[in-house]
Amino acid sequence: MGRLAYEALTETCPVALIVSGPVEGVDGNGSLPRVVCTSKLRLLGQILCGHWPPGPALVLHLGLLKLLPFIRGNHRPLCVMLNGIEAWQPQGWLTRRLLKQVDHFLCISKYTWAQFLRFNPSLRDNKHTIVYPGVGAPITAEPLPPEQPPVALILGRLMRGEDYKGHREVIAAWPRVRSRLPGARLWIAGDGDLRPDLEALAGRSDVSGAVRFWGRVSEEHKQDLLRRCRCLVMPSRGEGFGLVYLEAMRLGRPCLVSDVDAGREVVNPPEAGLAANPSDPEALADAVCRLLADGPEWQDWSRMARARYERDFTAGHFQRRLIAALFGAACFTLG
């Protein structure tokens, strides 16, 4: 998202763009006026050593807002992007103070804004715009048919600190899925310190032969798994948006999301998939079985998932939404 924002803004107007971590395709040497894309350490070094002219600033991660006092120059207006879970927690005193100076908040989902207000109710009346992310571009070829027997895929880091994405719940529901669709398989792509726990859970659930852990996969391998699966299943309890849903929809793969977070805004059940309560194994199994079943319903989902992606969620859509939010709302000025 940082790279896409960089490309959109540098083509439109020079802006101090403060991002978290390196951005692919950007050298971070400050060669473009009033634009910074670099690692946190290099960013702080540039801020402390350089003179920054006044002008608009867009902070692409709430955690970097505390660097703003080190920048010489009055950066107004000031916009901050709220990306999800980092905004759903109490903030330190400096960040709380700086939040009062923000002119406009950009949020990746309605859910993210609502969660942010839980901890910052005094900002309820501040200007904000929902700027849904996007990925990639439409594919020109028709997606290949999924594998048989049917496969459900869940993608994401397997980290104890992110044990809310639905891995445990889907594994626990898999015996119910197998009782109805004996050949159904679950593929889990991603790695981290949560993996041993999940492998042990699959073993205890007596579905270890139907659950495959791929570990960390390359981008090419990830796209191959998405093509081969019949649906993406990630009934997360705390997704601020969920780019992986878009990656699946781009290839015509419907998605299972939870009924408690921003996944619903992306998939819009039942348009591009289904939503279920992640705490209800029977409801999860019902939804998974419907998404794995071949037939007219799945064909409709596949078509509508791809159409929804192409209509609303390409990288170009995100860039146009970002520009419209900044300039259309008179937050920045062109020129």
Are residues 168 and 200 part of one domain? yes
pLDDT for 33: 39
Which carries the bigger pLDDT value, residue 196 or residue 42?
196
3-class DSSP state for residue 166? coil
Task: Please tell me the distance from the alpha carbon of residue 55 to that of residue 33, in angstroms, as a whole number.
Answer: 11
pLDDT for 13: 57
pLDDT for 334: 40
pLDDT for 62: 87
Quick check: 84 and 239 in contact, CB under 8 A? yes
pLDDT for 32: 39
pLDDT for 107: 95
Are residues 320 and 308 part of one domain? no
CATH code of the domain containing 265: 3.40.50.2000
Q: Note whether residue 333 is domain-resident.
A: no
Per-residue pLDDT, averaged over 2-30, amounts to 59
Does residue 272 surpass a pLDDT of 60?
Answer: yes
pLDDT for 159: 94
Are residues 184 and 88 part of one domain? no
Confidence of residue 85 (pLDDT cuts 50, 70, 90): confident
Lowest mean pLDDT among 20-34, 130-144, 157-171, 295-309: 20-34
Are residues 319 and 298 part of one domain? no
Q: Calculate Rg over the CA atoms of the chain.
A: 21
3-class DSSP state for residue 51? coil
Q: Note whether residue 198 is domain-resident.
A: yes
Structural domain boundaries, residue 283: 151-312
Are residues 319 and 244 part of one domain? no
- Paired with 16 in beta bridges are 57
pLDDT for 76: 63
Quick check: 47 and 73 in contact, CB under 8 A? no
What is the pTM assigned to this prediction? 0.87
Task: Take residue 76 and report the two structure tokens written for it.
Answer: 């107004």
pLDDT for 99: 92
Which carries the bigger pLDDT value, residue 75 or residue 263?
263
pLDDT for 328: 63
pLDDT for 215: 96
Does residue 41 surpass a pLDDT of 90?
Answer: no
Q: What tens digit of pLDDT does each residue of 296-319 get?
A: 999 999 999 999 999 999 999 999
Does residue 83 surpass a pLDDT of 50?
Answer: yes
Q: Note whether residue 143 is domain-resident.
A: no
Which carries the bigger pLDDT value, residue 96 or residue 70?
96
226 Cβ contact partners less than 8 Å away, ≥ 6 residues apart: 153, 155, 232, 247, 248, 251, 253
Does residue 89 surpass a pLDDT of 80?
Answer: yes
Q: Note whether residue 7 is domain-resident.
A: yes
58 Cβ contact partners less than 8 Å away, ≥ 6 residues apart: 5, 9, 15, 16, 17, 18, 79, 80, 81, 106, 326
Per-residue pLDDT, averaged over 30-45, amounts to 50
Number of domains in the chain: 2
Are residues 81 and 199 part of one domain? no
CATH code of the domain containing 36: 3.40.50
Which carries the bigger pLDDT value, residue 143 or residue 74?
143
Are residues 262 and 189 part of one domain? yes
Q: Note whether residue 144 is domain-resident.
A: no
Are residues 285 and 181 part of one domain? yes
Does residue 84 surpass a pLDDT of 90?
Answer: no
What phi, psi does 49 have (nearest 5°)?
Answer: -100, -20
Per-residue pLDDT, averaged over 252-267, amounts to 97
Q: Note whether residue 298 is domain-resident.
A: yes
Q: Note whether residue 164 is domain-resident.
A: yes
Task: Please tell me the distance from the alpha carbon of residue 77 to that of residue 180, in angstroms, as a whole number.
Answer: 57
Quick check: 71 and 46 in contact, CB under 8 A? no
Lowest mean pLDDT among 13-17, 126-130, 207-211, 302-306: 13-17
pLDDT for 333: 47
Mean pLDDT over each residue of the chain, to the nearest integer: 85
- Spatial CA neighbour of 263 closest among 284, 280, 239: 239
Q: Note whether residue 139 is domain-resident.
A: no
- Sign of torsion, CA 135 136 138 139? negative
Percent of the chain residues past pLDDT 70, beyond the cut: 81
Lowest mean pLDDT among 61-70, 102-111, 184-193: 61-70
Are residues 119 and 155 part of one domain? no
Are residues 158 and 108 part of one domain? no
Confidence of residue 199 (pLDDT cuts 50, 70, 90): very high
Which carries the bigger pLDDT value, residue 43 or residue 151?
151
Q: What does DSSP say about strands 211-215 and 185-189: parallel, antiparallel, or unpaired?
A: parallel
| Residue 121 buriedness (CB in 10 A; 0-12 / 13-18 / 19+) | exposed
Are residues 179 and 81 part of one domain? no
Are residues 103 and 242 part of one domain? no
